[in-house]
Amino acid sequence: MAVFPQLRRQRSKREEPIGEIPGGQRHRAILLMPGMIWLVIFSILPLALVVVYSFASRGTYGGIEFKWTLENYARLADRLYLAILWRSFLFAFATTVLCLVLGYPMAYAIASSPEPRKNRLLLLIVVPFWTNFLIRTYAWIIILRGQGLINGLLMHLGLISEPLRMLYTPGAVLLGFVYNWLPFMILPLYASLEKIDRSYIEAAMDLGAQGRYVLTKVILPLSLPGIAAGCVLVFIPALAMFAIPDLLGGARTMLVGNLIKNQFLSARNWPFGSAASVFLIVAMLLALFIYRHVLQRAQGHG
């Protein structure tokens, strides 16, 4: 399954494919071999193990007993875990929506900037990646904590008398999520907005359309592939993230990512952790399926 067919299409439009490989089918197999071996050993095999474990039982001392059961999946339907799954979905969904709302105007502004400034702005979007993700998240602790930057400033200005509680709240987790994934929304949005031929906008204006109508009837629909790609790139990792809730959320904002991590590391219940993982993978595949559907409709195959 081509996960990002629009990236593939873009590339093949700009440059011709290198063409038939000399030696044909056999040479292609040789070229594919190293990558395939890598994928099988380090991706497919562990994944298969996770699926197998999800049907096994937990041994007395945290080991795995190969007594097949559906118990692990049934346990996910427990109210406690359903609440965690639901909360994870809400966080991922809210993150996606916030990233889209914040990212779309930014991507549009960048895409419509003149050439040298466009590249500078894109660079600014990418700059945070130069610092490790954990360090950036720790930085938020310093900004948000009781004696942190924000509280310090507000108290200094006399606007508040005692520190606001910001760290270790769901809000802090959402902030961390949006901060972390905003670039992943902006970049695909930018790519698809930048590709929109100016003549479509001119044609709409020529037919009598003003700003808002041009945006809703022409620019938005034409950037739908970018919106879908950005949403997938944000939603899927946000669904599985555990480090940000660990660092910024405290104990009360447990998400499915934390649940899985805890099952594997602290509770040493690998089968249940595996079942939760498989559930998550299915949810992600569903998201990708919806994405493909949106994309195909946007490309007029519908």
Both tokens assigned to 237: 């990792």
CB atoms under 10 Å from CB of 57, counted, come to 17
Per CB under 8 A, the list member of 199, 251, 265, 266 interacting with other proteins is 199
Give which of 139, 189, 147, 177 is closest to 165, Cα–Cα: 147
Instruction: Tell me the three-class secondary structure of 48-64, residue by residue.
Output: HHHHHHCCCEECCCCCE
- Residue with tokens 């942190």, as numbered in its chain: 148
Contact 295, 225 (CB under 8 A): yes
> How far is 135 from 198, CA to CA, in rounded Å?
41
String marking each residue 141-180 x if it binds other proteins according to CB under 8 A: ----------------------------------------
Contact flag: residue 209 with other proteins (CB under 8 A): yes
Complex with other proteins: residue 94 or 218, whichever CB lies closer: 218
> How far is 262 from 272, CA to CA, in rounded Å?
10
Both tokens assigned to 165: 């509680």
Per CB under 8 A, the list member of 22, 114, 158, 208 interacting with other proteins is 208
Contact flag: residue 224 with other proteins (CB under 8 A): yes
Contact flag: residue 215 with other proteins (CB under 8 A): no
Complex with other proteins: residue 63 or 221, whichever CB lies closer: 221
Contact flag: residue 213 with other proteins (CB under 8 A): yes
Question: Under rule CB under 8 A, how many of the chain's residues touch other proteins?
Answer: 20
Helix, coil or strand: residue 36: helix
Window contacting other proteins (CB under 8 A); options: 72-80, 159-167, 198-206, 244-252 = 198-206
Complex with other proteins: residue 204 or 267, whichever CB lies closer: 204
List of residues contacting other proteins (CB under 8 A): 197, 199-200, 202-210, 213, 217-218, 221-222, 224, 298, 300
